[in-house]
Chain A
Amino acid sequence: MSIRQGLLALLLDGPQHGYQLRQDFDGRTGATWPLNIGQVYTTLGRLSRDGLVETTGDDDDSLKLYALTAAGRAEVEAWFATPVQLPDRPRDELAIKLALAAETPGVDLAAVIQAQRTATVEAIQDYTRLKTEADPDADLGWLLVLDSLLFQAEAEVRWLDACEQRLARPRQPRQASQPRATRVARAEPEVRA
């Protein structure tokens, strides 16, 4: 997903100023993904260039009122209708970390797993607390975002449990020359600079 689609979605409600869009985006997603005003205006500029929004009012960025064009409306409707594909999501640093820890002598994989589990459960505690503080009627969008974060974190803990169970099984020593081309090709580990 990009800021583009987020802003187009907000404009379905009617024309808005850039600063309103930024506030709305924060409000509806509970500031899960904070935007700065510069990003908002840059993105609006591109949307305008591409014919997805049109502006009325002053030339000054802060006074311009942005509205969806027919093409913009079609684009955002298509976005809502299209499921997000798993491979579109960012690479999972944690999976790569554990994969490396598993094969690196001297790294205590069980300790790496437990440290992660503790951190993830702490995140779950925090999300749960935020959820209890939210207003079930006024903050519906925010609650859905929190639920999403909670389910993702829960899935991570379950995956860690599965890693640990796998770890507890006796291992066959691997033959050094055994090719692992398919695995490498699929994982395409990308090391961040």
Chain B
Amino acid sequence: MMIETVLSMRDVSRVHGSAAAAVQALRGVNLDVAAGELVAVMGPSGSGKSTLLNLAGGLDSATSGEVFVEGTLLAGLSKSRLAAVRRRSVGYVFQELNLIPALTAAENVALPRELDGLSSRKARAEALDALREVDLADLADRFPDELSGGQQQRVAIARAVVGPRRLVLADEPTGALDSVTGEDVMRLIRGRCEAGAAGVVVTHDARLAGWADRVVFLRDGRVADAAGPRPEPEALLDGAAR
């Protein structure tokens, strides 16, 4: 089976500000995320986690190095081309959900597809598919303030994955949710990755990072270490009884 790289970051650095006030947020980071893979990024505040996510999603541009999304080099794209890549390839889940209060769940999810130029009917059909995926089809016509926090977060995830998006980026996606609901959110993101998307989740919560195939530790803008799955989880249980 061919492994398809959806996100590729090559020797990426980002300096904020200039001269004496320059802050090096990322230093020569390399990261590949393949279709089907979920990667968690952990690190203390100021380690460059959010910068990494913003660069991966084309919300910020690298000072040096290259970022590819589905094979497209982001540097040098015109504003409108970049905006198109962001809309079509990348879905974002933020801690603040940014749902539009005057739109129903389905309308919120359909909005990015309408901006892509789809007819409202087709956009709504895709939105309903995405809402079904997060188990919210019944509540499609409710407004955000008629939904619980967990349900709103699921709408935000549906909006992030609606249509053909292959790269899902999430920044502390379980924010204020309780631990069981937070787990449901990770289950959904994980499910989306298993269905073929590539995912990057920034979190300070090690239990959420546990859902990832790989965990990358950032420290002072560099990749300090990485944790991957081991072949036999059962072997661990002997140690658990210590």
Contact = CB atoms under 8 A, between A and B. Distances in A.
What is the predominant secondary structure among interface residues of chain B facing chain A?
Answer: mixed
Contact of B237 (A30, A124, A125, A154): A30
A125 B227 contact: yes
A61 interface: no
Contacts of A124: 206-207, 209-210
B215 A125 contact: yes
B233 A126 contact: yes
Contacts of B190: 132
Given A125-B215, A165-B44, A158 B233 contact: no
Contacts of A129: 229, 233
A153 B204 CA distance: 14
A121 B209 contact: yes
A10 interface: no
Contacts of A130: 233
A41 interface: no
B19 interface: no
Contacts, number: 79
A125 B224 contact: no
A122 B241 contact: no
B230 A121 contact: no
Contacts of B224: 114
A34 to B, nearest CB: 8
Contacts of A77: none
A158 B110 CA distance: 39
Given A122-B229, A125-B211, 13 more contacts: A31-B237, A34-B241, A114-B219, A114-B224, A117-B217, A117-B225, A120-B206, A121-B215, A123-B236, A125-B227, A125-B229, A151-B207, A154-B207
Interface of A: 30-34, 90, 114-115, 117-130, 132, 149-151, 153-154, 157-158, 161, 164-165
Interface of B: 42, 44, 187, 190, 204-207, 209-213, 215, 217, 219, 224-230, 233, 236-242
23 contacts: A30-B237, A32-B240, A32-B241, A33-B241, A34-B241, A114-B217, A114-B225, A118-B217, A118-B227, A123-B236, A124-B206, A125-B209, A125-B210, A125-B212, A125-B227, A125-B229, A126-B230, A128-B207, A128-B210, A153-B206, A154-B207, A161-B44, A161-B204
> Which 10 A-B pairs rank lowest in CB-CB distance, beginning with the nearest?
A128-B210, A126-B233, A124-B210, A157-B206, A33-B241, A121-B227, A122-B227, A154-B207, A118-B227, A154-B206
